[in-house]
Amino acid sequence: MPCLPWAFTTMRSVAPNYAAFHHARALLLLEGLEPKSHRGVFALLENHFEATGRLSSGALSRFARLQTFRGLADYDAQGRLPAERATEEVASARRFVEEAQKVLASGSKTALDTDAR
């Protein structure tokens, strides 16, 4: 399986992560919450959105995985990401963003329809 070079891997894994990250922050700001770290974003999403059913557990898992790849891309200069895996992570970020956008569009504190998950 071909691997992407480091610079391309970084762009492919970091850009989608930050799209998801900024959507996550927007969700938290909707609640009046301002996290101080990436880890704080995850913890607050878990407590205020997953636990209440406003985000699926799958969304939170995707977000956590994206954070892992962001760390690898930022700090592992020798890291290689198989092209297929990079494509999967971009799709994962897209799914998280789409779910977050549904919550943001509703602007309310009600749970998402279960068929949207």
pLDDT tens-digit profile of 58-68? Answer: 999 999 888 87
What is the separation of C-alpha 69 from the centre of its chain, rounded to a whole number of angstroms? 11
Instruction: Give the DSSP letter of residue 2.
Output: -
Token readout for 67 is 């954070």
Q: Which residue is it, tokens 């068929």? A: 115
For the stretch 26-66, pLDDT in tens is: 999 999 999 998 889 999 999 999 999 999 999 999 998 88
Q: Give the C-alpha separation, 21 to 93, whole Å.
A: 9
Residues 6+ apart with CB under 8 A from 78: 6
Q: How do the domains of the chain map onto residue ranges?
A: 3-107
Say whether pTM exceeds 0.95.
no
**Confidence (pLDDT) at 68:** 77
**Is-contact 50 59, C-beta < 8 A?**
yes
Q: Which residue is it, tokens 């101080």? A: 36
**Confidence (pLDDT) at 81:** 64
Amino acid at 52: T
Q: Give the C-alpha separation, 67 to 13, whole Å.
A: 9
Q: Is the domain 3-107 a CATH 1.10.287.990 member?
A: no
